[in-house]
Amino acid sequence: MRDFKLCSGANHRFPKRRYAGLTITNYALRITNEKGVDIMRVTIRSARPADAKAIFQIIRDDMGGSLSAADTAHILARLCVNRRHKVFVAEVDGQVVGFLHITEYESILLRDQLKNITAVAVAASYRHIGIGRALVTRAERWAEEYGAKGTRLDNHPLLPSAADFFRSCGYLGGVKYFQE
């Protein structure tokens, strides 16, 4: 079982009395108390078309998206079978609580192949405990497995909190190159 290193400069905002440790192992996040007892287990897995309703709710509630549930389902079904795209979900007790979409990115201006993170969101009640970081870490591993030299963020303006989050994950100027 391979452990993933959390992004450098991690700043987790959760009470010390409740959460003592985060471990990302084998595409799962384990949150423990100070005695090492599991408080929550989060699984990071590939999205399935059946996840569309939960993804739609996160987009609607937390991102203000304008797509309908049917549009979201149709788009997710297409993305799930397209090798140029990958959607990961974070699941707690069988419930999808976050997602990330990553796709190929090529530019005539870049020599190195990158993957592009186009969306990442975590339901409000599950934020600030490491789920977004676990999704980003999993996406970076996927990008590396497929030969990318790094990942970049889509060019839409980020909220200040999202910009701070990605900076804490090592994204400078919206790009993170993997170490060789």
CATH number at residue 126: 3.40.630.30
- Residue 173: the pLDDT is 79
Q: Are 178 and 144 in contact (CB under 8 A)?
A: yes
Alpha-carbon distance of 28 to 80, in angstroms, equals 20
* 169 within some domain: yes
List the pLDDT tens digit at each of the 180 positions of the chain: 233 333 333 333 333 333 444 444 446 677 777 777 777 788 999 999 999 999 999 988 877 777 899 999 999 999 999 988 999 999 998 999 999 999 988 777 766 788 999 989 999 999 888 899 999 999 999 999 888 899 988 765 566 678 888 888 888 878 888 876
The pLDDT assigned to 159 comes to: 65
Residue 115 resides in a domain:
yes
In a domain, 170, yes or no: yes
Q: 26 with 1: CB under 8 angstroms? A: yes
131 assigned to some structural domain: yes
Q: Which residues span the domain enclosing 173? A: 46-177
pLDDT for residue 7: 36
The answer to whether residue 38 is domain-embedded is no
For residue 67, the model assigns a pLDDT of 86
pLDDT score for 19: 41
**39 within some domain:** no
The reported pLDDT for the residue numbered 156 is 59
Tell whether 4 is covered by a domain.
no
Handedness of CA 132, 133, 137, 143 (dihedral sign): positive
Identify whether the C-beta of residue 56 lies closer than 8 Å to the C-beta of residue 63. no
Would 139 be classed as within a structural domain? yes
The number of domains in the chain is 1
Go through the chain and tell me how many residues it has: 180
